[in-house]
Amino acid sequence: MNRQRDGSGFSIGQVAKAAGVNVETVRFYERENLIKQPAKPTIGMRRYASEVVMRIRFIKHAQALGFTLQETRELLALRTGDAEVCAAMRYHVEVKLHSVQEKIKSLQGLETVLTNLIEECKSGDARQRYSCPILQALDEDAIPGDSRSN
């Protein structure tokens, strides 16, 4: 990343480009206190340090792994911590993994319910209250294969 001629840092556009985000993302991260907005000089524009690019990339990588902005704040706070950082980071990642596994389990259950509804629709009896078993299932308390309805 090229520094400005005066060596004072990078423009917001340069930071956004180097980090692979748009300028509005940089501003959003500022509003969310994920990055610090540099002071505005009396003359000229704000200049960002190169560390801001690394921080934004960290945020984007954390988001790609499914971490929320709040969780990312916690990870960022650990970034400058002590020897306990690795254990704390592992804890956060284990919590995220458990959350992902629960979502997968829930989605698999939903997949089963939807598959059962489709199968009932294919073999449904048109003499029922509705001609569509899916509509009937949605109108009733029990959805086939849905453990939550028991």
Q: What is the pLDDT of residues 108-123, one digit of tens each?
A: 999 998 898 888 777 7
In this prediction, residue 122 carries a pLDDT of 79
CATH 1.10.1660.10 domain range(s) in the chain: 1-66
In this prediction, residue 26 carries a pLDDT of 97
Answer whether 0.85 is exceeded by the pTM: no
* Whether CATH 1.10.1660.10 fits 1-66: yes
Contact 67, 96 (CB under 8 A): yes
Residue type, 116: N
Three-class SS of 38-75: CCCCCCCCCCECHHHHHHHHHHHHHHHCCCCHHHHHHH
Q: Which residue ranges of the chain lie beneath pLDDT 70?
A: 1-7, 80-83, 124-131, 141-150
Which residues, including other chains, have CB under 8 Å from residue 70's CB and lie 6 or more apart?
none
In this prediction, residue 147 carries a pLDDT of 55
Contact 11, 5 (CB under 8 A): no
